[in-house]
Each structure stands twice: as C-alpha cells, then as structure tokens.
C-alpha cells in the first residue's frame, strides 16, 4: 500500500488541460453541424443539442475542477462508496429506467437524462485502482486475484441486463489491462481470457445481437435493415474524399443518418473534413491518450498511476471502439465518440476523469511504474 503523503508541489499538466478544453470546444462545432437539422425538426430549435451540451460542459468543468483539487487520499477513500453508488444506480435503471429502442439505459432527473453505465466506467477504474494499490502483494494468488474480477463482474452483469454490450466490453478490457499492469500472473490472466469466451458466445446468441454481427460482416446485404446505419456511415466517409466537402456541407446528416448527433457523428465529420480532417482528429485523440499515460508513468503512488492509466485506457479504448464501429471493423455498439458525440453523462464523466489525471500530475516523487521497470 502506498504512502498517503500528498506532496502536491507543482501545477497541473497544462498541456493536458489545454488539449482537453480544445477538444471540448471543437466538439461543440462538430455537434452543431451534425445536430442542427435534427434539433430543428424535432424540437424547433437548431441549437437544442448544442445548448444542452454546453450545460453539461459547465457541469463537467465543475467536476474537473473538483477532481483536480480534491486530495487523492480522499479520492481513494471514496472509491468503494462510488462503486456501491454506481451499483445502486444500475439497479434503479433496470427498475425505473427510461426505455429507448427496447433497452433501459437512462434515468430521468428533472428534464435531463442520466446514463449510469457512463458513471460505471470511472467507478470501476477507481475501485480497481484502490484495491490493486492496497492488495498488490496478494495479486499473484487466486485469493487476491478474484476480488477485482468480482467487483468488475457485478457491474458488467448489470449493464448487460440493460441490453448494452459495448460498454461492458470496454470496461472489461480496461479492467483486464489494469489488473495486468498491477502485476497479475500470466496464467491467471489467460484463464480469465478463456473463461470469457463462453460468455461472448452466449451474448451473441441473442437474436438482435446476432443480426448486428451479420450486418457487420456484410452490411450491404441488409442495407435497408440492420446494416442501414453502417452503409450510410461508409458512404459518408467515402464521399468526403481527401479534403472533405466543407464545414456544414454534409448531405448524409439530412435525415439519412439516424441519431446523427450521437454514436455515428464521426462519419458526418469525415464527410465534411475528409481524410485529412479525420486523420488530424484521430491524432488529437492519440495525443490526449498519450498525455494521460505520461502522467500515469510519472505517478509517485500506485493508486495514482493505476487511476491515470485507467482513464487513459478508457478514453483510448472508447475512441478505438467507436471508430471501429463506424468504419465497419467492429459490430455496431452504442459507444459515443469522446467530446464530440452528444451525451451529458459521457461528457461529465470524461471531464471529471481528466480532472483526476490532472490531480495526479501535481505530485512529485519517484515514479512507481518506472521503478518497477528497473
């Protein structure tokens, strides 16, 4: 278990802060372009989605500031209560949740929708970083290896009951990487990997998921059915060419792409800004993930290092999954593109997570991951 000395003797990583704010503001522009027609036709206000995203950005800035300034020893003590609170919210979704498209994933709070599975991404990172810090010496034995799997598995099971496969897959991959980074034995990790295969087969036995898989393999066969969204995505990305059609000039967003402001916002961006724009945006995400990993590898305590690494893995993994889906490399899943897709819960969690990484960047000392490498 690490020392609890706070040793905050330097300012936050200003490069990471500036990069986050830049992506958030740029996301406003992309979201407005993708959502103006939908907002106007559905709510009579072309700025509807942008204004809501701005509200969530303000809440996210508060969350990021609080996370950056709260002593990390307090954050660690809150890890287990945060996990327990997330479990309660996930259960409430199953009981009282708002159903959209046959799936219950939302809780209504006033006029806003809250998606607890987004909070679960951060809660799992927090509880695993806490456990792996306190029990690292026991991780090489089954008695120490199983508890983090159980902590993660309970969350994954509840989200799967919401008929969401993408988020559990992301959380599971992040958890696996964190446990490996903390020093778990290769044999234990291999056993977990093999045990997951029957679960994936069972999950894909559900008819609507099987249909999505078949559409992913050959979307043109079902271009007017389950493959419609992917076909439109590929057409948009292809029609953008190298330079793109120009800002606001996408045609696929004109009611051809369902819910163009959410998970499939990247193809609209690609149609308007072309291969050059999508390459620059992908590079920006790579830099953001790298900056978070850099903080992790400079961290002075195990909890700090695992927390920052977990945030980096979550952001990077979410980007890869979203881009894999919209380019036809992966089956369709409900994974938003960080900072661009409309979604208050996602944006709030992202900015709060970045705030925690900024907090870690304030601490000086001997990096624990570098010491382990020697």
Rounded to the nearest 10°, the torsion over CA 306, 75, 175, 372 is 20
What is the pLDDT at residue 189? 85
Tens digit of each residue's pLDDT (9 = 90 or more) over 293-340: 999 999 989 999 999 999 999 999 999 999 999 998 888 777 899 999
Which tens digits make up the pLDDT trace of 177-236?
Answer: 999 998 888 888 888 878 777 766 666 666 666 666 666 666 767 666 677 888 888 899
| 334 in any annotated domain | yes
Quote the Cα angle for 173-179-183, to 5°: 140
Is residue 316 assigned to a domain?
Answer: yes
Q: Does residue 300 contact residue 364 with C-beta atoms inside 8 Å?
A: yes
Distance CA(74)–CA(372), nearest Å, equals 25
Could you tell me if residue 119 is inside a domain?
no
Residue 143 lies in a domain: no
Structural domains in the chain (count): 1
Q: Note whether residue 371 is domain-resident.
A: yes
Mean pLDDT of 20-30: 96
Q: Which of 133, 130, 147 is nearest to 188 (CA)?
A: 147
Residue 325: C-alpha distances to residues 147, 181, 198 (Å):
32, 27, 23
Domain extent for 290:
20-69+206-374
Q: Taking the model in full, what pTM does it have?
A: 0.91
- Is residue 338 one of the residues assigned to a domain? yes
Tokens of residue 75, six digits: 């954050």
Using alpha carbons only, what angle is made at residue 315 by residues 248 and 15, rounded to the nearest 5 degrees? 80
- Beta-ladder partners of 103: 100
């Amino acid at each position: 278990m690490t020392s609890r000395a706070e040793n905050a003797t330097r300012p936050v990583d200003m490069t990471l802060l500036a990069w986050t704010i830049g992506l958030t503001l740029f996301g406003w522009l992309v979201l407005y372009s993708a959502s103006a027609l939908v907002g106007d036709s559905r709510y009579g206000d072309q700025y509807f989605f942008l204004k809501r995203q701005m509200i969530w950005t303000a809440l996210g800035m508060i969350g990021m500031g609080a996370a950056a300034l709260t002593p990390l020893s307090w954050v660690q003590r809150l890890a287990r209560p945060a996990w327990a609170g997330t479990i309660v919210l996930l259960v409430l979704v199953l009981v009282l949740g708002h159903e959209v498209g046959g799936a219950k994933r939302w809780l209504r709070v006033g006029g806003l929708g809250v998606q607890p599975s987004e909070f679960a991404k951060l809660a799992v990172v927090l509880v695993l970083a806490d456990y792996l810090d306190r029990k690292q010496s026991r991780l090489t034995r089954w008695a120490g290896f199983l508890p983090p799997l159980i902590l993660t598995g309970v969350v994954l099971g509840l989200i799967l009951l919401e008929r969401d496969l993408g988020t559990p897959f992301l959380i599971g991959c992040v958890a696996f990487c964190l446990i490996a980074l903390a020093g778990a034995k290769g044999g234990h990790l291999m056993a977990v990997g093999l045990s997951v295969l029957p679960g994936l087969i069972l999950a894909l036995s559900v008819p609507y998921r099987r249909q999505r898989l078949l559409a992913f393999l050959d979307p043109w066969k079902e271009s007017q059915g389950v493959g419609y969204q992917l076909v439109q995505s590929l057409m948009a990305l292809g029609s953008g060419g190298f330079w793109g059609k120009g800002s606001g000039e996408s045609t696929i967003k004109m009611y051809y792409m369902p819910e163009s402001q959410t998970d499939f916002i990247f193809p609209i961006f690609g149609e308007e800004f072309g291969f050059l724009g999508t390459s620059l945006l992908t590079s920006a995400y790579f830099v953001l993930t790298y900056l978070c990993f850099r903080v992790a590898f400079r961290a002075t305590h195990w909890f700090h290092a695992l927390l920052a690494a977990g945030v980096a893995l979550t952001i990077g993994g979410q980007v890869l999954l979203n881009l894999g889906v919209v380019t036809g490399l992966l089956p369709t899943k409900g994974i938003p593109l960080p900072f661009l897709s409309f979604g208050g819960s996602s944006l709030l969690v992202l900015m709060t997570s970045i705030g925690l990484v900024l907090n870690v960047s304030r601490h000086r000392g001997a990096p624990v991951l570098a010491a382990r490498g020697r």
